[in-house]
Structure 1
Amino acid sequence: MTLDHQAPRKGIFFDVDDTLYDHLTPFRDAVRSKIHPAEPFPYEAAYHRMRYYSDMLSIDLGGAGTRAYAAAVDDMRRERFRMALAEFGIQLQPEEAQEVQQVYLARQFDIKLFEGAPELLTRLSAAGYVVGVITNGPADHQTNKIKALKLGDLVPQERIFISGALGWDKPDPRIFQHVNQITGTEPCHSYFIGDSWRNDVVGALAAGWNSIWFNHRGAAPESEHKPGHMVSGYSELARWLESELATNVLWKSPCSEGWLFYFLLLNRMVDFWRGMSYI
């Protein structure tokens, strides 16, 4: 894989949960061990609903960095399980939902990066790209996941952005704008790779970023938004990035060098013809 670095530097940022590692595994383990549903149980579908309610309830509380979220986070975590599993005929009492949440929380730190992810992060960094992560959640909780994944060995600390530490959750465009400001990158030269349609695809597009949907679970689009590309795994992602970044695609965006080149050329032509008028 050869990735030729071009100026201006491109930023390539990744979501964490269910993008860099399998977030379904701790969910499935928690539901199996505490509820014992009749098999086969649609764990993946239930997981998607849990993520949906988690995002919805988090937004209702103002995001992971707010006081309201901190005060109600335990209730929110229980409620997301109750609401999601109710759709599949499982009615949980609050204490049962709390037990599921406790197992889910404990298993969240027994995780590892998807196959191919460490190699891709390493190669992108070695090629000179600005590589980082943007993740939603409380700062301490997400930091513990990042430590469990040993992401600090692959991504500089200053390029790890956690919503709970910043005050904005994806899909709020301000978190993407903040990342651009801190890393010295521009929206049209920034790529975001994530699994969540609402947070990652829609959020990145709203901020003017290039969006790559990491759709490894075969989910359906939730709106009319159009991500720049969709991949189902890291082999496919690596191949696409190699092709995308090896070509000069900067002309596609208003802040690109291609647009700047033609703008400057046009101005030089105007100046030339103005000069000719005086001869």
Structure 2
Amino acid sequence: MKPITPNHAVFFDVDDTLYDHLQPFRAALVETLSTGPDFPYEPAYHRMRYYSDFLSAEAGGTPTHGQELESMRTKRFVRSLGEFGLTLTTEQAATVQTAYLNRQFDIQPFPGAMELIGELQARGIVVGVITNGPPEHQWRKIRALGVDKLIPAELVFISGAVGLTKPDVRLFELIAGKLDKSPEQCCYIGDSWRNDVVGAAGAGWQVIWFNHRGVQPESEPQPLHTPAASYDELARLLIVESL
């Protein structure tokens, strides 16, 4: 990975990058389906995220409102949990989805996340956020995390507001253009192989795959990226190795 300097811009994904997205998923299942401690929450979470991306791609990008959005949200739970022995009706899946949404605003950033953002900014590096989803929904998460106190609104790019959805390379190209940065001056950090790594690398950005769950790449050939599994590793890559 090339050194990060004050000429660079560093952008973070939100879900499962700035905070642990598994926590609201687990809490929603316990609340609505009474799943016990032995339920395979993390594998089920991975499948839910897979179907979320898959169904979004089928719809031509992450839906931001209306029946299409609600259908995608319930189908992902029906399909993913069905693989783990939980057969849900559409109504049951909608109940799980409601609990899941409600839990997403009771969240805390990963240890070291806010400190890293502050350190990058102190070094003169532009820091922002790129995330998929409906604008108000994603803004509520950003506010719940306190990210809005560090990152100005003009550096927060939400697919539903921009009109382009990760992994569309045009989203990354648009953002680089707004900042008058070359692709090589932009770095993106995210957990999703398909949305974050493939999307940003396709636009020529430097990419750090925040693979804190130790999953395997979803495609071949693999785009050029740097792996990291913790915020300590991210800090080493972005700050220590950039000195």
TM-score when normalising by structure 1: 0.82
Count the aligned residue pairs: 240
What's the counterpart of residue 218 of structure 1?
A: 214
Matched, 1:232 2:199: no
Q: CA deviation at 1:38?
A: 4.8
Gaps of 5+ in 2: none
Q: CA deviation at 1:37?
A: 2.9
Q: Percent identity?
A: 52
Distance 2:73 2:23 in 1: 17
**Aligned partners of 1:118, 1:243: CA distance in 2, in Å?**
17
Q: 1:10 aligns with which of 8, 11, 16?
A: 8
**Equivalence map 1:249-260=2 (5 Å):** none
- Secondary structure in 2 matching 1:169: coil
Residue type of the partner of 1:25? Answer: Q
* Deviation >6 Å, runs of 4+: none
CA distance in 2, matches of 1:128, 1:152: 18
Cα distance in 2 for residues equivalent to 1:64 and 1:181 = 23
Contact in 1 for aligned 2:56/2:63 (Cα 8 Å) = no
Deviations 1:58-116 (A, max 9, x none): 122222366xx633111111111000001111100111111111110100000111100
> What displacement does 1:176 show?
0.3
- Aligned pair 1:118/2:124, yes or no? no
**Partners in 2 of 1:86 and 1:129 — Cα distance?**
45
Aligned equivalents of 1:57, 1:197: Cα separation in 2: 16
Q: 1:255-266 maps to which residues of 2 (within 5 A)?
A: none
What SS does the corresponding residue of 1:112 show, helix, strand or coil?
coil
Letter in 2 for 1:146: I
Tell me which of 159, 164, 173 is aligned to 1:163. Answer: 159
Aligned position for 1:33 = 31
Supply the distance in 1 between the matched residues of 2:238 and 2:155 (Cα, whole angstroms): 20
Match of 1:132, SS state, is strand
TM-score normalised to the size of structure 2?
0.94
* Contact 1:31/1:100 (<8 A) preserved: yes
How many angstroms does 1:130 deviate by? 1.0
Q: Is the 8 A contact 1:27 1:104 kept in 2?
A: yes
Q: How many Å apart are 1:139 and its aligned residue?
A: 0.9
User: Whose relative contact order is higher, 1 or 2, with alpha carbons under 8 Å and at least 6 apart?
Assistant: 2
Residue 183 of structure 2 aligns with an amino acid whose one-letter code is P
Match of residue 42 from structure 1: 40
For the Cα contact (< 8 Å) 1:18–1:195, is it kept in 2?
yes
C-alpha RMSD of the superposition: 1.6
Task: Kindly indicate whether residue 168 of structure 2 is the aligned counterpart of residue 178 of structure 1.
Answer: no
